[in-house]
Amino acid sequence: DAMVIQNPRYQVTQFGKPVTLSCSQTLNHNVMYWYQQKSSQAPKLLFHYYDKDFNNEADTPDNFQSRRPNTSFCFLDIRSPGLGDAAMYLCATSRDWGIGGRLAEAFFGQGTRLTVV
Amino acid sequence: AQKITQTQPGMFVQEKEAVTLDCTYDTSDPSYGLFWYKQPSSGEMIFLIYQGSYDQQNATEGRYSLNFQKARKSANLVISASQLGDSAMYFCAMNSVETSGSRLTFGEGTQLTVNP
């Protein structure tokens, strides 16, 4: 059973045209993350939500925004996609914030591969 | 600051043989966790194994084991009896509540290819 679901799996968007990626979870986890992963690189954390509290990473461009209307859903909005934003976008969840050990495990969705043309 | 280093961009192994993927880490926190994830070409990140900094024994999960050497700050993943389906990217990651809350810091990954 899928626990973290990302839609769509593949997204093609035009340069400069706003695009939204979606993520839903059935785990009832408090924390949701968005990672950007470019080809052959490590995932890079863009931001996370702890419940309704939004937390931006210091180097995340303003072009990236996020919404979490409820526990289950989280959206990634790219306001004006550039060619450099083509990447795999991974959504993940974890049970809570500020906990360590095995409980800090992140559960990932299958990712959305974004192409900018 | 935390840092994970994976020095092997690519590794090759024959089917049914064992392989070790290297991971070293750097942190000043006494309490931390180490994770290994597998990422097939389809993209999803699959959790493999976890090791806590205070765990006395090396973690094992089926064919996966973690060679944890705390003094050397290394957490190498050992895959025994490799299978063709093990071909994937492997990421080492760490978390330390004191430094980073629950966020994971990832290494650059190792691409493993299992040859028949």
Residue B99 pLDDT > 80? no
Q: Sorting pLDDT into bands at 50, 70 and 90, what band is A1?
A: low
State the SS3 of chain B. Answer: CCEEECCCCEEEEECCCCEEECCEEECCCCCCEEEEEEECCCCCCEEEEEEECCCCCCCEECCEEEEEECCCCEEEEEECCCCHHHCEEEEEEEECHHHHCCCCEECCCEEEEEEC
Residue A11 pLDDT > 90? yes
Q: What is the mean pLDDT of chain A?
A: 93
Residue B31 pLDDT > 90? no
Q: Is B36 on the interface with A (CB under 8 A)?
A: no
Residue A65 pLDDT > 90? yes
* Mean pLDDT calculated for residue range B48-67: 94
Q: Is B106 on the interface with A (CB under 8 A)?
A: yes
Residue A99 pLDDT > 90? no
Residues in chain A closer than 8 A to B42 (CB atoms): 110
Nearest to B39 by CA among B101, B115, B108, B96: B108
Q: Sorting pLDDT into bands at 50, 70 and 90, what band is A44?
A: very high
Residue B75 pLDDT > 90? yes
Among the partner residues B91, B103, B106, nearest to A48 by beta-carbon distance: B103
- Put simply, the answer to whether B91 touches A97 (Cβ < 8 Å) is no
* Mean pLDDT calculated for residue range B30-38: 93
Residue B12 pLDDT > 90? yes
